[in-house]
A and B are shown apart, each in its own frame.
Chain A
């Protein structure tokens, strides 16, 4: 098997296994109380991390670039209660404009 197909097969099988652990083993059953209290905070914790890394991460480096403007405009739009579609479009257009003009 070529290197390409080895990687495709192993990454695919590994990812399917990782994604399946919770739903296959615990599917449809409520989580124990202690676990539930922790899992409740998983969404804000991971989303906070994703926002930070997607805004400032550049491979293994941190960078302040045009994305920051896009996300800042998005933050204002979210604060003004704009629909998510508008928020995403504003961030994309702002970042693209900043890249073209700055």
Chain B
């Protein structure tokens, strides 16, 4: 396979950039409606850069939850980024500062786009996709937070199905042998089984345990 570049990563993230920006708009609108003002949603998207966690903490506050509950919900959802970060660590070379900055560009979508199978990742694809998605997410949030509730909820347009389709499209080429297929099915089964009984975020973290079948020879 030819060396894949930053531009390839940016191009691969293109189809998603629209959906991500749409969700950014949703987040800006909802956070503003909950009383976040216009600046806090933009700062949150710029520093946290993890959609599901941001939605979760805002919805906890909206339902009258405590600050601790809102923070816990978000960090629980983001706990998957610990193993995900370890998986890309061998490919993030460079100084401590550049590794720290590049680590922030790792989100589900950029990570999946950068996956080359066999546990290998393309650093330039990861960074290219990460930058495009970051700009989409933060600028979408800014539009939502500044323009406010004049815009409808993008999920009515079917954008929520875009992520499932994308993850499926990225999964299929990786499922190249029986162990990979088994890990995917086991991960899906664990996540669905736990969804009704655990707080959001726990099913996805628990599903990562499916990769332990790699220990079996």
Residue of A nearest to B213 (CB): A41
* Bound CA–CA A25/B112 (angstroms): 22
For B112-134 the 0/1 string (1 means CB < 8 A from A) is 10010111000000000000000
State the A residues within 8 Å of B (CB). 3-8, 10-16, 18-31, 34-57, 59-62, 66-67, 70-71, 74-75, 78, 84-85, 87-99
The 8 closest A-B pairs by CB, nearest first: A22-B85, A96-B158, A40-B119, A95-B158, A12-B47, A91-B165, A49-B207, A48-B184
* Bound CA–CA A15/B214 (angstroms): 28
**Is the CB–CB distance between B186 and A48 below 8 Å?**
yes
8 other contacts beyond A50-B163, A57-B203, A91-B165, with CB at 8 A cut-off? A14-B74, A16-B47, A21-B82, A21-B85, A42-B87, A50-B204, A55-B161, A60-B196
**Is the CB–CB distance between A41 and B165 below 8 Å?**
no
- Counting chain B residues whose Cβ lies within 8 A of the other chain, the interface size class is 35 or more
**Is the CB–CB distance between B160 and A54 below 8 Å?**
yes
CB distance from A74 to the nearest CB of B (A): 4
**Is the CB–CB distance between A46 and B161 below 8 Å?**
no
Residue of A nearest to B198 (CB): A60
**Total cross-chain contacts (CB, 8 A):** 321
Judged by DSSP, the binding face of A is helix
Q: Which of B86, B168, B209 contacts A78 (CB 8 A)?
A: B168
Known contacts being A28-B94, A71-B165, is A49 close to B190, with CB within 8 Å?
yes
CB contacts (< 8 Å) of B164 on chain A: these are 50-51, 54-55, 67, 70-71, 74, 91
**Is the CB–CB distance between B85 and A20 below 8 Å?**
yes
Q: Which of A18, A30, A92 contacts B82 (CB 8 A)?
A: A18
* Bound CA–CA A95/B165 (angstroms): 11
* Bound CA–CA A15/B166 (angstroms): 24
CB contacts (< 8 Å) of B92 on chain A: these are 23, 27-28
CB distance from A68 to the nearest CB of B (A): 9
**Is the CB–CB distance between A24 and B179 below 8 Å?**
no
Q: List 20 A-B contacts (CB under 8 A).
A: A4-B40, A8-B43, A15-B48, A19-B104, A19-B106, A22-B84, A23-B102, A27-B90, A27-B96, A37-B214, A43-B171, A46-B207, A46-B208, A49-B204, A60-B199, A61-B195, A84-B12, A92-B19, A92-B158, A98-B158
Known contacts being A19-B104, A27-B93, is A48 close to B188, with CB within 8 Å?
yes
Interface residues of B in 172-217 (CB under 8 A from A): 172, 174-175, 179-181, 183-192, 195-196, 199-200, 203-204, 207-215
CB contacts (< 8 Å) of A59 on chain B: these are 200
Residue of A nearest to B96 (CB): A24
Q: Which of B19, B43, B174, B204 contacts A53 (CB 8 A)?
A: B204
